[in-house]
């Protein structure tokens, strides 16, 4: 069983509003008005995902007022300003010991992810036994990334300035890249102009 961890603790300074609350474009599979965060929660629903953790930090109260979260799913990171790794570490510490085979990490500013990509990554993780599994579009690595629970201690001990990349580098020869035709795995929507361009291309 995996844990799905959605990292949404950042300040969203360049965007000017919490990215977790931005409206996700309506599609045939996601009709109606939902947020980036709600979309990622929906694609994280999978038979092999048994735990959900949404990590909030900056503007947590505002996000909680917009998106309904079960108490057991919510992780508040008071150290969010220390960077993304601090949120990963907070999520890992919140999981019951020995309850997961790994964690699939979603970034709230990479919301253009489909449930098909998530299923593909999970299948490859269990079929391959690789400690790190990630998608690749046109040879470029993207998100979400699955880390085996065997790497939790390394993630907890990694330096905050390099973050989870330090663990990826330490296991460079064991990373499984899963090819996908979905460019969304690469798209980092962290400012209004990038967001407008990406959503215009999606529609």
Average pLDDT over residues 111-132: 97
* Nearest to 105, CA basis, from 69, 137, 72, 141: 141
> How many CA atoms lie within 13 Å of 118's alpha carbon, on the beta-carbon side?
24
Residue 130: C-alpha distances to residues 78, 87, 159, 178, 189 (Å) = 32, 23, 23, 11, 29
Residue 180 has pLDDT above 90, yes or no: yes
Average pLDDT over residues 114-143: 97
Q: How far apart are CA 180 and CA 170, in angstroms?
A: 24
Q: With contact defined as beta carbons under 8 Å apart, do 18 and 57 qualify?
A: no
How does the average pLDDT of the chain come out, rounded? 89
Residue 198 has pLDDT above 90, yes or no: no
Q: How far apart are CA 91 and CA 72, in angstroms?
A: 11
Q: 40: part of which helix (H) or strand (E)?
A: helix 36-43
pTM above 0.95, yes or no: no
Q: CA 87, 115, 27, 140: dihedral to nearest 10 degrees?
A: 70
Give percent of the chain above pLDDT 90: 69
Average pLDDT over residues 32-37: 82
- Domain 2-202 fold: Spore Coat Polysaccharide Biosynthesis Protein SpsA; Chain A (3.90.550)
pLDDT at position 20, please?
A: 82
Average pLDDT over residues 158-186: 96
Q: CA 183, 189, 193, 198: dihedral to nearest 10 degrees?
A: 30
Residue 18 banded pLDDT, cuts 50, 70, 90:
confident
Q: Which residue has the higher pLDDT, 133 or 65?
A: 133
Delimit the domains of the chain by residue range: 2-202
């Amino acid at each position: 069983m995996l844990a799905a961890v959605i990292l949404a603790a950042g300040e969203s300074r360049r965007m000017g509003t919490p990215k977790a609350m931005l409206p996700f474009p309506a599609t045939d599979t996601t009709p109606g008005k939902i947020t980036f965060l709600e979309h990622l929660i929906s694609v994280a629903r999978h038979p092999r995902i048994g735990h959900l953790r949404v990590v909030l930090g900056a503007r947590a109260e505002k996000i909680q007022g917009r998106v309904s979260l079960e108490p057991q799913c919510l992780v508040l990171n008071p150290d969010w300003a220390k960077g993304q790794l601090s949120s990963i570490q907070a999520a890992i510490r919140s999981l019951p010991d020995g309850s997961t085979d790994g964690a699939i990490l979603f970034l709230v500013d990479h919301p253009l992810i489909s449930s098909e990509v998530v299923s593909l990554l999970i299948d490859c993780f269990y079929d391959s036994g690789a400690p790190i599994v990630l998608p690749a579009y046109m040879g470029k690595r993207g998100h979400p990334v699955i880390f085996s629970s065997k790497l939790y201690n390394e993630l907890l001990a990694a330096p905050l300035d390099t973050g989870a990349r330090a663990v990826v580098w330490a296991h460079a020869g064991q990373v499984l890249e899963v090819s996908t035709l979905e460019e969304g795995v690469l798209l980092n929507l962290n400012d209004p102009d990038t967001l407008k361009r990406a959503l215009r291309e999606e529609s």
